[in-house]
A and B are shown apart, each in its own frame.
Chain A
């Protein structure tokens, strides 16, 4: 069965600090995709990244970076030099090969204080 766990319910940091959001997943498939989405107060889920199960290279996009480790079934997300605009709820999600749905974690509410 598919499952995504985001153990951190809420995180609060001061602006310019680095922060890492944890994501642990469970799947029996060898082929799957992992995603991160951002949900600002407006409610719309904004796509951030997609990573397939065969690509364990870390990825960096500006202040954002992602660390995918199959050995620990984790796909963690780091924001460097956080900004107030990064405040949102962040969701990690999993989709198995051939599946018609995303399975989301419960989300981590990130608050960046000025």
Chain B
């Protein structure tokens, strides 16, 4: 389809394992965002890419979280040595222009991560 695609849809991992979450933005979209949404809460910003450049990673909760977008399209969010508090829905969004200021962001369905 033409929307933002995220995979896997669901991921269950044991505490201490590494996980990788994938995001395919809308073709041609310059900006890509990752958000974390805890149960019953609003999404919280993690990181932002403009093409392949990671311009803002201020929302990453710890150095166990790492994101990349090497060719300016697909992005991967990696979480190392997962902990139970990492359990959440991880949302990816893309927008046509630069930044979040005046652009509507288009969201994927999210990856629901459960850490046992």
Contact = CB atoms under 8 A, between A and B. Distances in A.
Interface of A: 4, 32-33, 35, 37, 42-47, 50, 52, 91, 93, 95-107
A94 to B, nearest CB: 10
Contacts of A96: 101
A104 B42 contact: yes
Interface in B41-97: 41-45, 48, 55-56, 59, 89, 91, 93
Contacts, number: 72
B107 to A, nearest CB: 4
Interface of B: 3, 33, 35, 40-45, 48, 55-56, 59, 89, 91, 93, 99-102, 104-110, 112
Q: What are the 9 closest A-B residue pairs judged by CB atoms, nearest first?
A: A104-B42, A101-B45, A45-B107, A100-B48, A100-B56, A47-B104, A44-B109, A95-B100, A43-B110
Nearest to B105: A102
A102 B41 contact: no
27 contacts: A32-B101, A33-B102, A43-B110, A44-B108, A44-B109, A45-B107, A47-B106, A50-B102, A50-B104, A93-B42, A95-B100, A95-B101, A97-B101, A98-B99, A99-B101, A100-B33, A100-B100, A101-B33, A101-B48, A101-B56, A101-B59, A102-B33, A102-B35, A104-B42, A104-B43, A106-B40, A107-B42
A26 to B, nearest CB: 15
Nearest to B50: A100
B72 to A, nearest CB: 16
A106 B104 contact: no
A19 B116 CA distance: 40
Contacts of B35: 102
B99 A99 contact: yes
